[in-house]
Structure 1
C-alpha cells in the first residue's frame, strides 16, 4: 500500500515521520525522507509487447490497484502478468511470501528488484512496479502514469474495446484524476495519519466535502463521465471499496457512513457488478495489511471484527 503515500502526506504535517528506505542502494529501516538528498523514480518507455512485462502490486494498495484495474478492464491479462507482494509491510519493506511469492525473479524482498535496476537507488520502495522481463529491470513505478500508458498505448492487445481515456475527454479526465488523487485517494491518509487534532479536523472536513461533491455529481450520471467507464472511475473505485472497513475505522474517517452518500454508494455497488473489478479484491489481504502494518496507529495489531458491509458478504469477499 502506498506506504509511499503516507510519506507524501506526512511531509505536509508537523510529524517527522521515518520509514524504511534505500539510500545509494543501502537499506535503512528507520530514516526520514528529509535526510535523503533526492528521490529516484522509474518512468521509462513501455512498449506494448505481450509477455514482456510483469506487474507487481500489493493487493492492499489503492494506488497499485489503478493499473491492475486497467489490465482487467481492457482484458490485458494474457499480455501482462500480475502478482502481489505479501500483505504485511514491516521494517524490511514489501516482502514476498509462500502465499504471495515472486513468480518472476524469486526474490524475498521487493527492494531487491530496485537495487537490481539501480544499484545506487535512493528513495522509497513502493508498488506498483512494472518489471521488464527482457531488460531485467523496473521500467515504471508511477501508478498514475502507468495506468494512463496502459489505457492509451495497449489497446491493440486488449480483448475488450473499452476506451478509458478518450481523446475528447482526455483533458477533463486528467484533471479529475488529479482532483481524486488529492481530495480522496491521498486525503484518507492525511486523516488517518493526522499529527494533531487541528490537522485531523481540517483533513476530515475536506475529505467529506469531497465525498459530497462526488455524490452530487453522480446523482445525474452513471459514471464520473457520463454513461461510459473512464480512467477516473478506476482512480475512485479503490478508495471506495476500502472505505467502510478500513478508512472509517482505522483512519477514523467517520463523520458519516459511506452508505449515506446514496448516489456515490450506488455507483460503487454498480462497479462491483463487474466481475473484472471483483477479481482484484482480496479483503482479507487488505485488512491484514492496514491493521498489522500501521503499528504506529494500531500498536496491538488488532484486526476489528467489523463492520461487515452487506455487499462484501453477498459477494463472498468476507465470511
Structure 2
C-alpha cells in the first residue's frame, strides 16, 4: 500500500502506520458546475459514483475525468490520453497535496473535487454514490429514485453485503498471499455469486422490478469478471456465464446505454495486467478473452 504522511509520499507504507488519517466531508452546497469527479475507468469502486452520474444524467452538474490506465510507484497519474484539465497536474498525489499540504492517508479514487474552494470533499465511493443518488436527484435529467426512502435501509444493508462478499472479496482472491487464504476467499466469493444467482431467478433486479443503487454496486464487479478476474485474479472456480440468472441480469443492465458507456474493457485490462506486477511480473496484457457482449 502507498500513503501520504503529513504531505510526504511513501510508496511502501501502510495506512496503519500513520499517526492519524485525514477524512473528508461531502458537500452540503449542491451547485451545478462546482464539482469534479476524478475516477479510474478500471476501479470498480470509483465506477459506483460514475454510474450514478451517468444513469441519472448528472454530467451537466458534475464533470468527470479518469486517471491514466497504467499505475506506477507514484500512484495514479494523468497522461496525454487522460489529462487533468481541471487542475493541470500530473498525479493524484499532487491533487491531495494541493488540497491539503499536510494530508495523511491513502491516495485513491474516486475523488470529488470542489473547484471553487480547491479542496477534496469526498473520496469514499459508497457514501458518494448514495449522496449523488439522493441529494443530487433534483439536478438530474433522469430523475429515477435509485434509493427511495422506503428502501434506503435495505439498500444500505445490501450494499454493505455486496461490498464485503463480492466487490472486495474478489480482490481477496486475487491478492491472496497463500493457498489457504485463496481457498477461503474463493469459497466466500462463489457462495455469494450462487446466492445472487438464486435471488435473480425470482426478480429482475436485486431488490425487485426496479433498478436501485444496489444494482449499480454489483454491475462494476460483474463486467470485470470475464476479462480480468477469472484469469488475472484466478477467480475461476466457475465461469461467470455459468450463473444463468446472474449473467442474464448483467446483459439486461448492459442494454442501458447510460450504463454501458461507462465501461472500457481495454482500459481495464491494461490497468490490471500492467499495474499488478506482484501477480503479473511481465506486465503483458493478454489479447483475450473475447467477451460475448
Kindly indicate whether residue 201 of structure 2 is the aligned counterpart of residue 219 of structure 1. yes
Verify the 8 A CA contact 2:38 2:110 in the aligned structure 1.
Answer: yes
Whole-Å Cα distance in 2 between the matches of residues 204 and 102 of structure 1?
37
**Structure 1 unaligned spans of 5+:** 1-18, 312-319
How far off is 1:38 after superposition?
2.6
Whole-Å Cα distance in 1 between the matches of residues 290 and 31 of structure 2?
42
Verify the 8 A CA contact 1:43 1:142 in the aligned structure 2.
Answer: no
Whole-Å Cα distance in 2 between the matches of residues 44 and 284 of structure 1?
32
Q: Give the secondary structure class of the aligned counterpart of 2:106.
A: coil
Give the 4+ runs in structure 1 shifted more than 6 A. none
Whole-Å Cα distance in 1 between the matches of residues 73 and 243 of structure 2?
38
How far off is 1:20 after superposition?
2.5
Kindly indicate whether residue 44 of structure 2 is the aligned counterpart of residue 44 of structure 1. no
With structure 1 as the length reference, what TM-score do the two structures score? 0.90
Whole-Å Cα distance in 1 between the matches of residues 134 and 43 of structure 2?
23
Whole-Å Cα distance in 1 between the matches of residues 79 and 178 of structure 2?
36
Deviations 1:213-237 (A, max 9, x none): 0000000111111111100000000
Verify the 8 A CA contact 2:70 2:275 in the aligned structure 1.
Answer: yes
Whole-Å Cα distance in 2 between the matches of residues 20 and 155 of structure 1?
35
**Structure 2 unaligned spans of 5+:** none
Whole-Å Cα distance in 2 between the matches of residues 308 and 41 of structure 1?
41
CA RMSD, aligned part only? 0.9
Query: What is the match of residue 237 of structure 2?
Result: 255
How far off is 1:30 after superposition?
1.9
Q: 2:281 aligns with which of 282, 291, 299?
A: 299
Verify the 8 A CA contact 1:87 1:286 in the aligned structure 2.
Answer: yes
Kindly indicate whether residue 174 of structure 2 is the aligned counterpart of residue 192 of structure 1. yes
Verify the 8 A CA contact 2:227 2:265 in the aligned structure 1.
Answer: no
Q: 1:244 aligns with which of 222, 226, 231?
A: 226
How far off is 1:31 after superposition?
1.8
Query: What is the match of residue 317 of structure 1?
Result: none
Report matched runs for 1:49-68 at 5 Å.
49-68=31-50
Q: Give the secondary structure class of the aligned counterpart of 2:54.
A: helix
Whole-Å Cα distance in 2 between the matches of residues 34 and 21 of structure 1?
10
Deviations 1:233-288 (A, max 9, x none): 00000000000110000000000100000000000000000000111111111011
Whole-Å Cα distance in 2 between the matches of residues 261 and 138 of structure 1?
40
Q: Give the secondary structure class of the aligned counterpart of 1:63.
A: helix
Verify the 8 A CA contact 2:77 2:92 in the aligned structure 1.
Answer: yes
Whole-Å Cα distance in 2 between the matches of residues 46 and 182 of structure 1?
29
Q: Give the secondary structure class of the aligned counterpart of 2:112.
A: strand
Query: What is the match of residue 94 of structure 2?
Result: 112
**Which shows bigger deviation, 289-298 or 46-55?**
46-55
Kindly indicate whether residue 132 of structure 2 is the aligned counterpart of residue 147 of structure 1. no
Kindly indicate whether residue 89 of structure 2 is the aligned counterpart of residue 94 of structure 1. no
Kindly indicate whether residue 161 of structure 2 is the aligned counterpart of residue 179 of structure 1. yes
Equivalent residue pairs, number: 293
Verify the 8 A CA contact 2:130 2:213 in the aligned structure 1.
Answer: yes
Whole-Å Cα distance in 1 between the matches of residues 9 and 241 of structure 2?
43
Whole-Å Cα distance in 2 between the matches of residues 46 and 97 of structure 1?
32
Verify the 8 A CA contact 2:41 2:263 in the aligned structure 1.
Answer: yes
Q: Give the secondary structure class of the aligned counterpart of 1:40.
A: coil
Deviations 1:108-131 (A, max 9, x none): 011111111111111110000000
Verify the 8 A CA contact 2:113 2:119 in the aligned structure 1.
Answer: yes
